[in-house]
Amino acid sequence: MHKYQDSSVRMIYEYYKDDLINILKNIDTHAILRQLSEKNVLNAENYMSIANECEGDVFPAKLYQDILELGREAVIGFWECLYALQKDYPNPDLLAVLDEINHTGEHLVHQILLDKHGHLLDPDLKASQNEHKQHLLKKTENLVEHRPPGTTLEPQEFYLNERYVNLIVVSTDEFRERPQNELKQTGAKHEECLKKMKTGLEHIFPNKLFRWNHQSQCVPHAVMVSGVPGIGKTTLVQKFVYDWVTGKHYQRFAFVFFFRFRDLNRLGEVSLEDMILHQYPYLENQIGSILEHPERLLFLFDGLDESIQQMDFRRSKLSNSKVKENLGEIVVSLVRQRLLKGCSIMITSRPTKLTSIDTGVFQRIAEIMGFLYGDRLIYFKKHFGNEELSEKAFQYVHENDTLYTFCYIPSYCWIICTVLSMCFRDQPTINDTMMTSLPKTVTQLFVTFVSNILANHSQTEEGARELLTSIGLMAEHGVMNHMLVFDKRHLESFSVTHDNHLSSCFLMESGQPPELDYTFLHLTLQEFFAALVHFINYSPDKLQKSLNCDSYKDGRAEIFLQFLCGLSDSSSRSMLKSHVGKLSTQAARHVISWIKEKIEKRQTSTSEEEKRALLNVFHCLKENRNKDLASQCLGSRTRFELFDVPLNPIDCSVLSFILDSSEKIEELSLNECRISAEGVRKLLPALHGIKELSLAHNNLHGSGTDLASGIRNNQTLKTLDLSHNNLEGPDISELMEVLPTSQIENLDLAHNNLHGSGTDLASGIRNNQTLKILDLSENNLEGPDISELMEVLPTSQIENLYLSHNKITEESCTDLASGIRNNKTLRKLFLDNNNLEGPHFRDLMTALSTSQIETLCLMKIGLTDEYVPLLVPLSENENLIELDLSSNTISEAALSHIRELIMKSSSLKKIESFQAYNLDNRTFLYILGQKESFHQEWQNQFGFG
């Protein structure tokens, strides 16, 4: 940085503005201010109070701007601070920026200037570029939103810059297995990814897509942008083109060509030149000159999943832009750089498509994560234009797990807001009664959506049934065959009349006559119609065939099946009765029989795949809303287990409904299900009758408040396993606060992060009279923690105490001795894998000699020959039955002391002494009443007289 001129230092700093503000937002504020203060860039004290008062981007933006105004030395000092922080704070955005600067080096300023001003072009080529930009500007400057179905309102237009899209980079492995429906999969992953952004995922702004990628260690020429239907892939491409046209970024590209695969599907074999001129005919005179410099060209292809071409990205053969080939070969050859070597290309696709192609040819893969919490609220406010309505609508959706989860998708936000607008439209006041009548499930949401549209059209019952049947059959054909785009032949085949104003409320038209394409307003609407047709026109054989689609491994039919089950609920169907007449009750009974059969078949399943399939059926049960049916399907089972099945927040909400439907479940085990804090919140309402709950090996860090609430409201809970969850200080504080009022007898907190939590643990134990088993193994507990615990141990009812694998040293032996000496209930004590040997070890052994302890584990405590004699007093303990001394290095010389302990003890029945006499893997069993034979065995093995 010191080598650059002042203007260049400023230019680089401004070039990274978005990145730097994002880094400042996600890195430890105290750490960055401390570094800036140490390097005399600014006074940290002046900024700390500002940081505490500001939210969101306000403070990062101010700090960024203040450093810029302080000048060259401050800016360089700031970069040096970031460089120093990267080791302790490996923020992915920070690492990416620093890596780009290091690799770009002296060329960085040239790159910035090129992206800002572009290449010098001859006058004719410049004129063609200007014409091209004007053409694209008209295509991209406005964003059109659908008109509310059933109304005469014109479509809404607003400036593109008002739409926000959040991008983060993910690895190709994310796309390899998507067993669930991709909307649900990504929706659940959404909140998780937002948390990971601070530590493990890189935030990608549009102007960063073709910059240095530190993961692939190159400047990418082929980029894949993935996203579920409706997430904003097309909008992102539109924004990218608009920003290029207006000179905001990437002027290094002299020409940008934007294509949609659905528009290219009808092209036969064409050359690359023909393909460009088909869409941009005004470039005909300059096409040769344009293609002479491939490094100045960017090709954007939207909707790979909508292409009818099969593309094998592993090989290509086309190298001439004038040779005619099929579209797939042209795209693959561009990506693989055989055609127009040096050009850049970006493709968008649904995630499911990426599982079937070789994504290794792309140097950057980004996934659009859609709306964050704040963006959703802003969208609601813009849609309703009324503060009270938008807040009530958003609050309602926020409290509905399924609807809120899908709300990360912009187009889904539109559907939800449109439906709620329809509900509010006829209500003079918004009261609590009205709010309770709003749709509760996704099925009811779409039933309301369709019934409101039908209500706004003068359509006979027969005409409505006929239209919904034809649309439904076409929709199901698309669902079963991964088809989103339909043409005139499909409409004719299924007797869909698109000039009917009603059908145009459900289908969008694109392209130019006569080559028109049709898509449903949203993929989920297509899935809804696919299910609805079976209740309008019931055929047992057709319905059974459709139900059998649950065997598809790609999740294509998951939401479709949920709609079938949702429509089996009579209250959900009844909303359509006045428009289309009675819907089939036989179809409802057929679906319910299928649900029962699937649950019965999978009740005893053990494979993860089968357990996931069972969970999918539970999703269907919740959509059906029939608690009696759910209870009936669970039968008489008292234990429910889903080991090693990833559970997202929606899954947890579904489980909550299922468990709440049954009064018989007493034991719930959800170990290694990767449940998050949000998932715990969803489960809590159903845990009121559970006696044994195991949530081991999940991700419950930060769940203390919710877990405490669950314990407080459950007076039946006896056993709670929270091991391996990365719980720490605040979590334990919350848990220990409610422990005294609980009925918990067995609490497992092993392998968390409880170092320094001794005071909180002691507080919970001191006031509790039910706890009998406490596992605190593998928690880095040490001196002060043990001191606090031992102070309250005498007043507790604890019988089994596990302190294995901590950082307890011999200095804590005095505290341990004090707690044990004054306790009358402790029967089992595990101190293994701590370093206890030392002078104070004698205190511990003396206390143990008069204790009530029956089982004592001293495995791997660092015991050597010098301190083995101190074990002999244990023989005075008339309660001691089992003693484990394994994995201590005891030599032959000290073996006589162990023999003395055994011979003097009147109660010892079992002693384990691996590595005694330096013989590994030996177990000595000494049975009281067989001392003579035991003595003989000892003689035979070790030669003692």
Length of the chain as a residue count: 945
Q: What is the pLDDT of residues 56-65, one digit of tens each?
A: 678 889 999 9
Q: How far is CA 104 from CA 100, 107, 110, 217, in A?
A: 6, 6, 10, 11
Spatial distance between the Cα atoms of 677 and 192, rounded to a whole number of angstroms = 10
Q: Looking at residue 661, what is its pLDDT?
A: 87
Q: Is the dihedral of CA 642, 644, 645, 648 positive or negative?
A: positive
Q: Give the span between the Cα atoms of 788 and 942, in whole angstroms.
A: 44
**Comparing C-alpha atoms, which of 700, 721, 702, 831 is closest to residue 777?**
831
Using a pLDDT cut of 70, give the percent of the chain over it.
Answer: 87
pLDDT at 925 over 60: no
Asked whether residue 662 carries a pLDDT value surpassing 60, the answer given is yes
For helices 58-70 and 72-85, the axis angle rounded to 10 degrees is 130
**DSSP 8-state class, residue 809:** B
Distances from the Cα of 236 to the Cα of 239, 335, 804, angstroms: 5, 20, 54
CATH 1.10.533 maps onto the chain at 6-117
Percent of the chain scored above 90 by pLDDT? Answer: 42
Does 605 have pLDDT greater than 90? no
Q: What is the pTM of this model?
A: 0.70
The answer on pLDDT for 606 being more than 60 is: yes
pLDDT at residue 164 greater than cutoff 50:
no
Tell me: cis bond preceding 873? Omega within 30 of 0 counts: no
Mean pLDDT of the chain: 84
Interacting residues of 910 by C-beta distance below 8 A, sequence separation 6+: 881, 882, 883, 925, 926
Residue whose C-alpha is closest to residue 498's, from 484, 483, 517, 485: 517
Q: Judge whether residue 166 has pLDDT over 60.
A: no
The correct CATH number of 139-368 out of 2.60.40.1180, 1.10.290.10, 1.10.150.120, 3.40.50.300 is 3.40.50.300
pLDDT (average), residues 296-322: 90
Asked if residues 895 and 942 have their Cβ atoms less than 8 Å apart, the reply is: yes
> Residues 522-555: pLDDT tens digits?
788 899 999 999 999 999 999 999 988 766 665 6
pLDDT at 915: 43
Instruction: Judge residue 885's burial from the number of C-beta atoms within 10 Å of its C-beta, 0-12 exposed, 13-18 middle, 19 or more buried.
Output: buried
Neighbours of 813 (CB within 10 A): 25
Per-residue pLDDT, 183: 54
Q: Are 686 and 655 in contact (CB under 8 A)?
A: yes
User: Do the bridges between strand 364-370 and strand 166-169 make them parallel or antiparallel, or are there none, so unpaired?
Assistant: antiparallel
Beta-carbon count within 10 A of 297 CB: 21
Rounded Cα distance between 32 and 502, Å, is 59
Tell me the CB-side half-sphere exposure of residue 390, using CA atoms within 13 A. Answer: 15
Decide if pLDDT at 716 tops 50.
yes
**Which whole number is the average pLDDT over 573-598?**
90
888 φ/ψ angles, rounded to the nearest 5 degrees: -110, 140
What pLDDT is recorded for position 553? 60
Structure tokens at 259: 């294509």
Give me the CATH code for the 6-117 domain, please: 1.10.533
Q: What is the mean pLDDT of residues 592-621?
A: 81
3-state secondary structure of 937: helix
Which one, of 447, 469, 475, 463, lies nearest residue 577 by Cα?
Answer: 447
- Residue type (1 letter), 152: T
pLDDT of 158 reads 53
pLDDT tens profile 558-578: 888 999 999 999 988 888 888
pLDDT of the residue at 559: 84
Question: How much is the average pLDDT of 347-367?
Answer: 86
Least confident of 131-145, 194-208, 249-263, 662-676: 194-208
> φ, ψ for residue 850 (rounded to 5)?
-115, 15
Instruction: Kindly write down the DSSP assignment for every residue of 690-737, as one continuous string.
Output: -SEEE--SS--TT-HHHHHHHHHT-SS--EEE--SS---HHHHHHHHH
Question: Which one of 29-43, 73-87, 276-290, 632-646 scores highest in mean pLDDT?
Answer: 276-290
Is the pLDDT at 940 greater than 80? The verdict is: no
Q: What is the mean pLDDT of residues 284-290?
A: 95
Q: In the predicted model, is pLDDT for residue 742 greater than 80?
A: yes
Q: Does 172 have pLDDT greater than 60? A: no
Segments of the chain assigned to CATH 3.40.50.300 = 139-368
| The residue type at 386 | N
CB atoms within 10 A of CB 508: 12
Instruction: Tokens 């023999």: give the residue.
Output: 899
Whether 176 has a pLDDT exceeding 80, the answer reads no
Give the Å distances, CA to CA, from 483 to 139, 624, 840: 27, 27, 75
pLDDT of residue 25: 85
